[in-house]
C-alpha cells in the first residue's frame, strides 16, 4: 500500500492507471474480504494463499532482472502450506493438538530445504545467489504473511484483521492526503522522493484515530491502546512501503507487475500489510489477550 506523499511544488502527475478497472478490482477485493471474514474464514485464508502466491511470483520475476533466480515452485507450495497449516493448527482442526508454532516452523523449514534441493539440479554456478533469492522470498512472504493466518485464528480473529487493515488504510490515506496538500520536506529522498514528513504526520493522525475507534468498538479495549496500536501500524506500514521501494529501485522497475488491473502488482498493495503483520500479531497478543 503505497503512500504517495507529494510536494505541492512538484509538477502534477498523471497516474497512468485505469481508474474504472482499479475501482472494480478494489471493490471486488473488498467484498471478498468482508464476506469471507464474516461468514467463511477459510475463504479468507484461501484469498491470502492466492495473493501471496502471486506476490511471490512477482518478486521472483523482479529478482530475475538482476540474475537472481529463485525456486519459485516449491516456494509457492510452501507459502500455501505455511498459511493454511498454521491457521489449521491454531484452530486445532482435526483435534490433533499440535502447537501452531511447531507447524509453522516445520513448514518454513521444509520450504527452505525444498528450495535448496530444487536449485541443486541447476549446477554450482550461481547456486548461492539463486538460493539467497529463494530464502529472501520465503522470509519476506511466507514467514511474514503467516502472521495474518495467526491473527485470524486468534479469539475474535476477524475483528483483529479488520482493525489491522483499517489502521494501515488510515496510514496510507492520511499520508497521501496531507502529503499532497502540505508536503514540503522529503523524508527519505534516496528511497522514495515523494514521501514527506508532513505526510508521515498525516499517517500518524489518521491511523491513530482509526486505531482508537477500532479498539473501542471492535476490540472492546481502552481507546488509548488503539492510539498506540495505530502508531505502531504507521511505523511498520511505512517500513514495508520503503522496503518494496528499495527492491523496485534495485531491479529497476516501477510496478511489480500488472496482475491487478489498475493497481499494478499484488505486492504494490501488500507491502505494508506484510511488514505490519508480525507487529500487529504481537501487539494484539499483548494488548488484547485471548480468553
Over the stretch 37-53, which tens digit does the pLDDT of each residue have?
A: 999 999 999 999 999 99
Region 201-219: mean pLDDT is 96
Q: According to the model, what pLDDT value does residue 276 have?
A: 97
CB atoms within 10 A of CB 237: 30
| pLDDT tens digits for range 141-199 | 999 999 999 999 999 999 999 999 999 999 989 988 888 888 788 888 888 888 889 99
Say how far apart CA 266 and CA 76 lie, in whole Å.
15
Q: According to the model, what pLDDT value does residue 18 have?
A: 59
Say how far apart CA 290 and CA 141 lie, in whole Å.
26
Say how far apart CA 60 and CA 75 lie, in whole Å.
10
SS3 (DSSP) at 185 = coil
Say how far apart CA 77 and CA 82 lie, in whole Å.
9
For the chain, the average pLDDT equals 89
Residue 3 has pLDDT above 70, yes or no: no
Q: How distant, in Å, are the alpha carbons of 21, 44, 63, 74, 233 from that of 133? A: 32, 28, 7, 13, 27
Q: Which three cell numbers stand for residue 9?
A: 511544488
Specify whether the backbone of 18 is left (phi greater than 0), alpha (psi in -120 to 50) or beta.
beta
Q: According to the model, what pLDDT value does residue 15 have?
A: 43
Q: Please count the CA atoms within 13 angstroms of the CA of 189 that sit on its side-chain side.
A: 5
- Dump strand ranges (E) for the chain: 186-188, 192-196
Q: According to the model, what pLDDT value does residue 11 have?
A: 38
CB 165 within 8 A of CB 57: no
pLDDT category of residue 255 using cuts at 50, 70 and 90: confident
Residue 210 has pLDDT above 80, yes or no: yes
Q: What is the CA radius of gyration of the chain?
A: 19
Q: Which three cell numbers stand for residue 239?
A: 517500513
**In the chain, pLDDT over 90 holds for what percent of residues?**
72
CB atoms within 10 A of CB 122: 12
Q: According to the model, what pLDDT value does residue 19 have?
A: 63
> Can you tell me which residue has the cell 485470524?
152
Nearest to 88 by CA among 156, 35, 170, 149: 149
Helix (H) or strand (E) holding 118: helix 100-120
Q: According to the model, what pLDDT value does residue 93 have?
A: 84
pLDDT category of residue 224 using cuts at 50, 70 and 90: very high
Q: Which residues pair with 186 in a beta bridge?
A: 196
> Can you tell me which residue has the cell 505455511?
82
Amino acid at each position: 500500500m503505497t503512500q504517495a506523499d507529494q510536494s505541492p511544488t512538484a509538477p502534477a502527475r498523471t497516474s497512468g492507471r485505469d481508474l474504472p478497472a482499479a475501482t472494480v478490482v478494489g471493490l471486488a477485493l473488498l467484498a471478498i474480504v468482508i464476506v469471507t471474514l464474516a461468514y467463511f474464514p477459510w475463504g479468507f485464508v484461501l484469498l491470502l494463499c492466492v495473493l501471496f502466491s502471486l506476490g511471490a511470483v512477482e518478486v521472483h520475476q523482479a529478482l530475475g532482472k538482476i540474475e537472481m533466480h529463485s525456486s519459485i515452485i516449491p516456494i509457492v507450495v510452501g507459502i500455501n502450506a505455511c498459511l493454511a497449516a498454521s491457521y489449521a493448527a491454531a484452530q486445532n482442526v482435526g483435534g490433533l493438538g499440535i502447537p501452531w508454532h511447531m507447524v509453522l516452523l516445520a513448514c518454513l523449514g521444509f520450504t527452505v530445504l525444498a528450495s535448496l534441493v530444487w536449485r541443486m539440479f541447476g549446477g554450482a554456478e550461481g547456486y548461492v545467489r539463486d538460493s539467497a533469492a529463494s530464502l529472501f522470498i520465503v522470509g519476506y512472504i511466507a514467514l511474514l504473511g503467516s502472521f495474518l493466518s495467526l491473527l485470524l485464528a486468534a479469539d475474535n480473529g476477524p475483528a483483529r484483521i479488520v482493525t489491522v487493515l483499517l489502521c494501515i488504510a488510515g496510514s496510507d490515506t492520511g499520508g497521501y492526503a496531507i502529503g499532497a496538500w502540505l508536503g514540503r520536506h522529503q523524508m527519505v529522498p534516496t528511497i522514495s522522493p515523494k514521501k514527506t514528513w508532513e505526510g508521515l504526520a498525516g499517517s500518524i493522525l489518521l491511523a491513530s484515530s482509526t486505531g482508537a475507534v477500532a479498539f473501542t468498538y471492535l476490540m472492546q479495549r481502552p481507546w488509548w491502546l488503539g492510539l498506540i496500536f495505530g502508531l505502531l501500524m504507521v511505523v511498520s506500514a511505512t517500513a514495508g512501503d520503503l522496503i518494496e521501494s528499495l527492491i523496485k529501485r534495485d531491479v529497476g522497475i516501477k510496478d511489480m507487475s500488472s496482475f491487478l488491473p489498475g493497481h499494478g502488482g499484488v505486492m504494490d498493495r501488500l507491502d505494508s500489510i506484510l511488514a505490519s503483520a508480525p507487529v500487529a500479531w504481537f501487539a494484539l497478543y499483548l494488548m488484547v489477550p485471548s480468553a
